[in-house]
Copies of this chain bind each other. A is one copy, B any other.
Amino acid sequence: MVHLVFAGKVSMKTEYTVEIRVRYPECDPMGIVHHSRYFVYFEIARTELYRANGGNYKKMEADGRFFVVVNAECQYKKPALYDDLLQVSIRVQKVTRAKLIHEYQIHRGEELLAVAHITLAMIDREGKIMLIPDEFQI
């Protein structure tokens, strides 16, 4: 990971890909990954992007800052199957003062299986909306 510094600001990774092996109980009686499970995969990619930027979501929560999902949308193009090795990608799409929007893609090699968009807001321990911190601004 290359950290470029422009005007004193360390550049941030805005894309990341994790590889996830589909687990047996993530698949339903059709033998395919249940549609609800994709959001678990997306969250893993999101956590790892944050880690790749030197952050730690667990520590962030310990500091009293929590991300909550305010909107989630996924387009399922082809089913993911048991034991598949998937590439789950995240890309920062938009950051405002109140919201953080990522785009996600799931590939199995060359095949695109799903595309999703998830919007996050940040809350404190009392559940009050906070501004998205500078560290997430791109």
Contact = CB atoms under 8 A, between A and B. Distances in A.
A69 B34 CA distance: 9
How many copies of this chain?
A: 4
Interface size class of A (residues with CB under 8 A): 35 or more
A35 interface: yes
A98 to B, nearest CB: 15
Q: Chain A contact residues: over half helix, strand or loop, or mixed?
A: mixed
A70 B76 contact: yes
Nearest to A39: B36
A122 to B, nearest CB: 12
Interface of A: 21, 23-25, 27-32, 34-40, 43-44, 47, 56-58, 61, 66, 68-76, 79, 82-83, 127
